[in-house]
């Protein structure tokens, strides 16, 4: 049985989650530019641009895999969104509730696994659910005027695929690369190097 105290956040958890959030807030700011300059490349089929979406979803999955505590995915994605909004973007403060919804998607995946599994399938599930939550938010806020079949369904599929691969697989690969260096030794991800 898991000790209830293992779900308590340590100072180290808050610091690392915050560092991940700030780093990704800056990455989001840069990725906003990538999104804007690639729009014309996807003019043939605009929903396909959602294949790039997963970068915006990474902090939720990455912090969930490292911190391994309730709220880590939600906190990190929300703080990254706040940093992105403060740095300035084309979407304004709307990215803040968007970040909360995206973080909630990953949080639901880790909660469904009772914060006990952090292997590749858990990372892929968290990436997929954060992609799904992102697509649902976008349907309501950004893409409400688009038709369901010709735009929304493909957009959702591409967003989930991107979340699964970039955020899920990508975050798992980052944790796997960092674990042997020893920087994660104070976290379960570092102590379970062979299981990642």
Query: Which pLDDT tens digits describe the chain residue by residue (196 residues)?
Result: 444 457 888 999 999 999 999 999 999 989 988 988 999 999 899 889 999 999 999 999 999 999 999 999 999 999 999 999 999 887 888 899 999 999 999 999 999 999 999 999 999 999 999 999 999 998 888 776 666 667 888 999 999 999 999 999 999 999 999 888 888 888 877 776 544 4
pLDDT of residue 1: 42
Return all residues near 1 (Cβ < 8 A) that are at least 6 apart. none
Q: How far is CA 9 from CA 12, 83, 179, 183, in A?
A: 8, 22, 20, 18
**89 dihedral zone (left: phi>0; alpha: psi -120 to 50; beta):** beta
This model's pTM is above 0.75: yes
Q: What is the pLDDT of residue 193?
A: 57
Q: Where are the alpha helices (DSSP H) in 89-180?
A: 95-112, 120-141, 153-162, 170-178
Q: Which residues contact 94 (CB under 8 A, 6 or more apart)?
A: 141
Q: Which domains does the chain have, with CATH numbers?
A: 4-36+45-195 (1.10.1760)
Helix (H) and strand (E) counts in the chain: 8, 0
């Amino acid at each position: 049985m898991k000790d209830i105290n293992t779900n308590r956040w340590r100072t180290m958890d808050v610091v690392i989650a915050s560092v991940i959030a700030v780093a990704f807030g800056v990455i989001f700011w840069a990725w906003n530019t990538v999104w804007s300059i690639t729009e014309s490349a996807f003019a043939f089929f605009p929903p396909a641009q959602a294949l790039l979406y997963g970068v915006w979803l990474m902090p939720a999955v990455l912090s969930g895999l490292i911190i391994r505590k309730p709220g880590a995915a939600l906190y990190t994605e929300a703080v990254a969104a706040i940093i992105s909004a403060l740095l300035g973007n084309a979407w304004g403060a709307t990215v803040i509730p968007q970040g909360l919804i995206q973080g909630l998607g990953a949080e639901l995946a880790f909660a469904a696994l009772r914060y006990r599994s952090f292997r590749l399938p858990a990372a892929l599930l968290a990436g997929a659910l954060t992609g799904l939550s992102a697509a649902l938010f976008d349907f309501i806020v950004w893409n409400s005027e688009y038709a369901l079949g010709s735009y929304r369904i493909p957009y959702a599929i591409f967003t989930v695929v991107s979340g699964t691969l970039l955020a899920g697989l990508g975050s798992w690969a980052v944790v796997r690369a960092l674990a042997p260096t020893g920087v994660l030794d104070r976290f379960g991800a570092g102590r379970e190097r062979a299981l990642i």
